[in-house]
Amino acid sequence: MQPAHVSLKLQKVQFQSRNFHNILHWQPGSSLTSNGSIYFVQYKMYGQRQWKDKIDCWGTTALFCDLTNETLDPYQPYYGRVMMSCAGSHSAWTMTPRFTPWWETKLGPLAVTITRVNASLRALLRPPELPNRYQIGKNTSMENYYDLVYRVFIINNLLEKEQKAYEGTQRAIEIEGLTPHSRYCVVADMYLPMLDRRSPRSQERCVRIP
C-alpha cells in the first residue's frame, strides 16, 4: 500500500490538555477524505526509539484519542503521531510537537462552596481533581505540582460592585465586614505565578446576609 497524495496529510496533530487529561486531536487533510477514513495512533516518551500502538485508537473513526494514561508523568516530554487510511490509500505519519504536560496543561476552574456564619462568609476552595496516577483510588491535587495562588472576589449585588476579598495560598477563607440585608456572590480563580497562567473563574455562589 503506497502513501497517498498530499491531501491525505493530517492537519493540526496536537495535544490538548486540561488538568493533566491529555487528549490527542487531529484534522483530516481535506474534507473529501473525512468520510470513511480510519486513523491509527502511536505514542512515545521523548528519548525512546520505539513507538507504541494505542490499541483503543487503532483503526478509530474519531478525530481524537485519549492518551492520559500513556502520558501520566507531567514532567516528561511525549510525542504522539497519527496515520490515516482511506479507500485503500494511507497517509504518512504526522507527529505532534513535543508535549510536556506540566508546561502545557490548562487549568480548569475551582469548585467553591460558601456558608454564612452570622454576618460573615466562609468560602472553601477545591482545585480540580487530576487523573489517578498511582491507581490507589485517590486522585492527586493540582497543589502537588504547582505553587498555586488563590484569588477570591466578592460581589455586593445591591451595589453591583466587585472587589477582591482574598489573595493567597489558603483554601478556607473567612470574609467579614459584610453589609446586613445584602446579597453577596463569590467567585474565585487560581493563578500560577511561575507560568503566568490563570484558571477560568469558578461558578458564582451566592448567599443573603440577614
Q: What is the pLDDT of residues 76-85, one digit of tens each?
A: 999 999 999 8
The answer to whether residues 151 and 69 belong to one domain is no
Boundary residue ending a domain (59, 89, 104): 104
The answer to whether residues 136 and 191 belong to one domain is yes
Average pLDDT over residues 92-101: 96
Calpha distance 41→82 (Å, rounded): 5
Average pLDDT over residues 102-109: 94
pLDDT at 3: 44
The answer to whether residues 49 and 13 belong to one domain is yes
The answer to whether residue 56 sits within a structural domain is yes
What confidence tens digit (pLDDT) does each residue in 146-185 have? 999 999 999 988 777 889 999 999 999 999 988 888 899 9
For residue 52, what is its C-alpha cell? 507504541
pLDDT at 139: 59
The answer to whether residues 29 and 93 belong to one domain is yes
Boundary residue ending a domain (62, 81, 104): 104
CATH number of residue 193's parent domain: 2.60.40.10
* Residue 136: DSSP 8-state: S
pLDDT at 2: 42
3: Cα within 13 Å, side-chain hemisphere:
11
Average pLDDT over residues 101-129: 93
Q: Which residue has the cell 492527586?
A: 140
Tally the domains of the chain.
Answer: 2
pLDDT confidence band for 119 (50 / 70 / 90):
confident
Strand partners, 122: 115, 174
The answer to whether residues 197 and 135 belong to one domain is yes
Sheet hosting strand 111-117, strand order edge to edge: 111-117, 120-126, 172-175
What confidence tens digit (pLDDT) does each residue in 7-44 have? 678 899 999 999 999 999 999 876 555 568 899 999 99
Statement: residue 131 has pLDDT above 80: yes
Average pLDDT over residues 107-116: 94
The answer to whether residues 99 and 46 belong to one domain is yes
**Which is higher by pLDDT, 195 or 159?**
195
The answer to whether residues 58 and 75 belong to one domain is yes
The answer to whether residue 162 sits within a structural domain is yes
The answer to whether residues 85 and 128 belong to one domain is no
The answer to whether residue 143 sits within a structural domain is yes
Average pLDDT over residues 101-109: 95
The answer to whether residues 126 and 53 belong to one domain is no
Calpha distance 170→55 (Å, rounded): 43
Mean pLDDT, the chain, as a whole number?
89
The answer to whether residue 145 sits within a structural domain is yes
Q: Domain range spanning residue 151? A: 111-209
Boundary residue ending a domain (43, 71, 104): 104
The answer to whether residue 1 sits within a structural domain is no
The answer to whether residue 92 sits within a structural domain is yes
Average pLDDT over residues 91-115: 95
The answer to whether residue 43 sits within a structural domain is yes
The answer to whether residues 121 and 203 belong to one domain is yes
The answer to whether residues 96 and 132 belong to one domain is no
pLDDT at 34: 56
The answer to whether residue 184 sits within a structural domain is yes
The answer to whether residues 15 and 70 belong to one domain is yes
Calpha distance 167→131 (Å, rounded): 27
pTM for this predicted structure: 0.84
